[in-house]
Amino acid sequence: MHVIDQMLDTYPKDLGDVDRAALSKCITACRECAQACAACADACLSEDMVAELTKCIRSNLDCAEICTTTGDVLSRHTGYDANLTRAILEACQTACKSCGDECASHADMHEHCKICADACQKCEQACVDLLATL
């Protein structure tokens, strides 16, 4: 059992109709995507062709920030605001789609971009899945 699941299980109040499995999966995907994006940006900065990777680096950094924030918001339930949750999930979905597409365009040259694109795709889908339950 992941720490995320343990924390959700110990929450003292009712979480309402939220699908706990989808919530846990989305928080995990956000955390993993944020890490992959931060690492990919750093790896891009180490590439000899760094100038050609500027858009990828910016996309990685933006996506990492949005995924981190989304994971943080999803981890808090006191004073829960469904409208805010939907908006942040939609923003995260958009950021992951954009970053994933950008990284995928470099995936044949850079393994770190392939790994990042995969993490973005998983996070994008986790956001879609959680949105469907709200």
For 82-132, the pLDDT digits (tens) are: 889 999 999 999 999 999 999 999 999 999 999 999 999 999 999 999 999
> Binning pLDDT at 50, 70 and 90, where does residue 15 land?
low
Q: What's the rounded Cα separation, in Å, for the pair 79 and 85? A: 11
Predicted structure pTM score:
0.92
Pick the CATH number of 19-133 from 1.20.1270.360, 2.40.30.10, 3.40.50.2300, 3.40.50.300: 1.20.1270.360
Write the CB contacts of 111 (distance below 8 Å, at least 6 apart in sequence): none
Q: What's the rounded Cα separation, in Å, for the pair 112 and 99? A: 13
Structure tokens at 52: 């050609």
